[in-house]
A and B are shown apart, each in its own frame.
Chain A
Amino acid sequence: MTALAGAERAAVARPGRRAFGGGLRRLVLHGTLVILMLIWLLPTIGLFVNSFRSSADITASGWWTALFPPTGLTLDSYAKVLGQTDIGSGFINSLFITIPATIIPIFVAAFAAYAFSWMNFPFRNGLFVAVVGLLVVPLQTTFIPILQAYGKLNIAGEFLTVWLAHAGYGLPFAIYLLRNFMGSLPKEVFESAAIDGASPVTSFFRLALPMSVPAIAALAIFQFLFVWNDLLVAFIYLGSVRPENLPMTVQINNLVNQFGAGWELLGPAAFLSMALPLAVFFALQRYFVRGITGGAVKG
Chain B
Amino acid sequence: MDPRLGTAAAVVIGMPAVIIGYIYGTELVLARTSEHLRTRLRPWLWLLPALLFLFLFLIWPTILTILRSFQGRLAGSWVGFANYSWFFTSGDALTALRNNVLWVVFLTLITVGLGLIVAVLVDRVRYESIAKSIIFVPLAISMTAAAVIWRFMFEYQSAGQPQTGTLDAMLTLFGFKPISWLQVETGAFNTILLIIVMAWMWTGFAMVILSAALKGISPELLEAARVDGATEWQVFRRIVFPLLTPTIAVVSTTMVITALKAFDIVYVMTGGNFGTDVVASLMIKQMSFNEFGRSSALAVVLLIAIIPVMLVNINRFRAQEAIR
Contacts and interface: CB of A to CB of B under 8 A. Distances in A.
A140 B19 contact: no
For the complex, would chain B's binding face be called helix, strand, loop or mixed by DSSP majority? helix
Contacts of B53: 105, 108, 164, 167-168, 171
A152 interface: no
B97 interface: no
B209 A296 contact: yes
A78 interface: no
Contacts of A192: none
Interface residues of A, number: 122
B309 A99 contact: no
Interface in A156-202: 159, 163-165, 167-169, 171-172, 175, 183, 199-201
A42 B154 CA distance: 13
Given A114-B46, A267-B148, A100 B58 contact: no
Contact of B144 (A129, A249, A292): A249
B261 interface: yes
B216 A6 contact: yes
B62 A142 contact: yes
Interface of A: 2-4, 6-7, 9-11, 13-14, 17-21, 29-30, 32-33, 36-37, 40-44, 46-47, 50, 58-64, 92, 96, 99-100, 103-105, 107-109, 111-112, 114-116, 119-121, 124-125, 127, 129, 131-146, 159, 163-165, 167-169, 171-172, 175, 183, 199-201, 225, 228-232, 235-236, 248-249, 252-253, 256-257, 266-267, 269-271, 273-274, 277-278, 280-281, 285, 288-289, 292-293, 296-299
Interface of B: 2, 4, 7-8, 11-12, 15-16, 19-20, 23-24, 27, 39-40, 42-44, 46-47, 49-51, 53-54, 56-62, 64-66, 68, 114, 117-118, 121-127, 131, 133-135, 137-138, 140-145, 147-153, 162-166, 169, 200, 205, 208-209, 211-213, 215-219, 222, 232, 247, 250-251, 254, 257, 260-261, 263-264, 267-268, 271, 280, 283-284, 287, 292, 295-296, 298-300, 302-303, 306, 309-310, 313-314, 316-318, 320-321, 324
